[in-house]
Amino acid sequence: MTGDELQDLWSRTSGQLRNLLNEDIYDRWIAGIMPLRAEGTTLTLGVSNDIFCDWLSNNYRELIADTLSNVTGRGYKIEFEGGHEFAPVSVVPPAPAAGKRATPAQTSRKQTAEQESSTSASPYNRHFTFDTFVIGDSNRFAYAAASAVAKAPGRAYNPLFIHGATALGKTHLLQAVAHDTSQRKKRARVEYLTSEEFTNQFIDALSSRTLPKFRRHLRSVDVLLIDDMQFFTGKEQLQEEFFHTFNTLFNNHKQIIMTSDRPPHEISGLEKRLVSRFEWGLTTEVMPPNIETRMAILKKKQEGHSIVLGDDVLFFIASHIKSNIRRLEGALIQLVSYSSISGETITRERAAQLLQPLLEEEGSSSLTIQDIQRAVAEHYDIRLADMTSKRRPQNIAFPRQVAMYLARTLTNESLPRIADSFSRNHATVMHGVSLVSERMQNDSDIRNTIGKLERRLKVQ
């Protein structure tokens, strides 16, 4: 393959990747890739350093290979090679001046300044405090542990690890600790980060060569709070960085609090030494609230509204929406908003009509990704283990993509959670869902098959 042919091949492939990925991800990871050589069925792509090699290998290798296969009609193995300098594309935040964009240098200075600043400006959600947290049997112990940590950071439970399904109050507790600690100790340095924010700051520090400042900032805080630790899976260099940060803070008797959708030992792709450290302190679970707690949450939430719904309506909501607190609050807001705009008094019957789409979604939320994988595997006569295997022949790859599509459309699970259930990354799931949607439009047999699977799963 000549140099021009190679450039043309990569141009067409990267063009499709641009359509599949959001602008931020494409600019950060794909835009700077250089096609180096094609040898047989192996395409080698050049990136600036080993960090990019590892990240792309762990997160986007399969997506690039699949996209390349769509372009060429043949399978390729993708390899990455570091040491090929290119002008990196910075992710530019909203411009400070109207109509103007910050330069990369301004962006770098702003990020550095943010990393070195204290949290005195209270960047936390003002509604996520201990006073607004509704306590029930499902979360009482987690609340008590978080409250104790806020009163005596570094001494009560260190580290504190809170796990549970999505939208059950983990982030609320995490930020409540941040609020309470900042109020009790005005000079305390408190840092709250989602796993994505931690990752982005780490990558930005590498790109801008400010890694020492990034480390000094995080390792000098009094309280470090990290949300959604499950997204550290498979990211070896990120785990290495966090391992040393954890050790420094722990040895200096600084408080560490983490949340995840599962306990440490169940997070696949997490180094054993990290799992061991996460379990040094206290691990506690937040579970779905019972009906009494759901009623208490609804009553607490409607205190901020001028419209007050009757207890029978609140009981109807609490009885039918059980999966998570976020959906519970959404139902309340929908009814209150409708009543405020229309002037209509909401009855139980009217609530059932207005919330019908939400109630149908709630009914399907009991369906699990494992249920879907099992049903699809049985239909296509493949092994259940093939849903998570690395094998990619067409007779396995397409059923796997069908299962991804059904998981995305029939459950309320997040893309990262679906990806984890298939031992893939979220970009691969996005690609699979898009591919199945496209084939359903053009192939009536596939459309009928997926319709049959949907009906079977909904009945189940």
Instruction: Please check whether residue 202 is in contact with residue 214, taking contact to mean a CB–CB distance below 8 angstroms.
Output: yes
Token pair 């250089």: residue: 34
User: pLDDT tens, 278-294?
Assistant: 999 999 989 888 899 99
Residue 128 makes CB contacts below 8 A (sequence gap 6+) with 171, 172, 174, 175, 176, 179
Asked if residue 94 has pLDDT above 60, the reply is no
Show Cβ contacts of residue 451 under 8 Å, excluding neighbours closer than 6 positions: none
More confident residue, 52 or 94: 52
CA separation for the pair 368, 377 (Å, rounded): 14
Residue 382: CB partners within 8 Å, gap ≥ 6? 395, 396, 399
Tell me the residue length of the chain: 460
Give the whole-angstrom CA distance, residue 344 versus residue 309.
11
What phi, psi does 193 have (nearest 5°)?
Answer: -140, 140
Confidence of residue 377 (pLDDT cuts 50, 70, 90): very high
User: Model confidence at 364, in pLDDT bands (50, 70, 90)?
Assistant: low
Domains of the chain: 3-81 (3.30.300.180), 140-285 (3.40.50.300), 291-364 (1.10.8.60), 369-459 (1.10.1750.10)
Amino acid residing at 300: K
Reported confidence tier of residue 54, pLDDT bands at 50, 70, 90: confident
- Looking at 121-135, 359-373, 415-429, 443-457, which range is the least confident one? 359-373
For residues 246-256, average pLDDT: 95
Q: What is the pLDDT of residues 203-226, one digit of tens each?
A: 999 888 999 999 999 999 999 999
Pairing of strands 190-194, 34-39: unpaired
Interatomic CA distance for residues 418 and 403, integer angstroms:
10
What pLDDT is stored for residue 366 in this prediction?
64
pLDDT digits (tens, 9 = 90+) for 112-129: 444 443 333 456 788 899
pTM summary value:
0.57
pLDDT of amino acid 412: 67
Mean pLDDT in residue range 418-430: 87
Determine the pLDDT at residue 101.
42
Cα 176 to chain centroid, rounded = 21
Rounded CA separation 315/147 (Å): 30
423: left (phi over 0), alpha (psi -120 to 50) or beta: left
Average pLDDT of 343-363?
86
CA distances from 196 to 79, 228, 243, 244, 263 (A): 25, 8, 17, 18, 19
Note the pLDDT of residue 459. Answer: 64
The arithmetic mean of pLDDT across residues 441-456, rounded, is 87
- What pLDDT sits at residue 242? 96
What is the reported pLDDT for 98?
A: 39
Task: State CA 43 to chain mean position distance.
Answer: 30
